[in-house]
Amino acid sequence: MHAHAELLKGHKWLDTFQKPRRGDTKLQHILARYEQILHAKQENERWNDRLREQPQTHHDRAYLRPSPFNRALPRLKPQAIHIGYDPPAAQSTDGTTMESVYALQHKQRVEPLKAKYNDPSNVPTGRSASPPPYTPELLTSRWRRQAPPADVVAKLSNVA
């Protein structure tokens, strides 16, 4: 019985698809409309797939705390490509990398500083250059703030 109903449905669909080929304009318009609906559905599904593939960014707590003068800033994870640095994007279209404009100036500024600090005659010597030693009061102040040892606390609690 079930197979008979399916067979009838199949023949009905076959007639529905063959009549427009024979010149039935009403069914041609109906099938054209269904085809548009199916294409729109496929396009919608394709866009949904693309949206599912993209990493979802979510707001996390910012590195900088808000203040009365600066509002709270969001931190995006994962970082959006157009915000963060992307090494392949830093290369030009023909594959050559861009050189820094300030690289030479940086070297010119750093070299005298390196020479100054690498010179042994500039190293401070003597007691005046070293930090002052800690006083016994500073060293014992933390010990005084602590509670007594556990065995002493146990003896004191048994007495009371």
Q: Taking CA 46 as the corner, what is the angle to CA 42 and CA 51, rounded to the nearest 5 degrees?
A: 145
The answer to the question of residue 28 being in a domain is yes
The answer to the question of residue 35 being in a domain is yes
The answer to the question of residue 72 being in a domain is no
If pLDDT is split at 50, 70 and 90, which confidence band does 108 have?
confident
Tokens 């669909």, located at residue: 13
Length of the chain (residues): 160
CA separation (Å) from 140 to 36, 132, 133, 148?
85, 17, 14, 14
Judged by average pLDDT, the poorest of 34-38, 44-48, 114-118, 143-147 is 143-147
What's the domain range around 40? Answer: 24-54
How far is 121 from 119, CA to CA, in rounded Å? Answer: 6
18 vs 120 pLDDT, higher one: 18
What's the domain count of the chain?
1
What is the amino acid identity at position 19?
K
Q: What is the pLDDT of residues 67-92, one digit of tens each?
A: 777 776 666 666 666 666 656 656 66
How far is 123 from 114, CA to CA, in rounded Å? Answer: 13
Quick one: pLDDT at residue 60? 59
Q: Is 129 helix (H, G, I), strand (E, B) or coil?
A: coil
The answer to the question of residue 30 being in a domain is yes
User: Averaged over 122-143, what is the pLDDT?
Assistant: 66
pTM of model > 0.95: no
The answer to the question of residue 32 being in a domain is yes
Quick one: pLDDT at residue 7? 94
Q: What is the pLDDT of residues 24-68, one digit of tens each?
A: 899 899 989 999 999 999 999 999 998 888 766 655 555 666 677
The answer to the question of residue 122 being in a domain is no
> Does residue 142 surpass a pLDDT of 80?
no
The answer to the question of residue 112 being in a domain is no
Judged by average pLDDT, the poorest of 1-5, 58-62, 148-152 is 58-62
Q: Is 77 helix (H, G, I), strand (E, B) or coil?
A: strand
Phi first, then psi: give them for residue 148, nearest 5 degrees: -65, 160
The answer to the question of residue 78 being in a domain is no
DSSP class of residue 67 equals: -
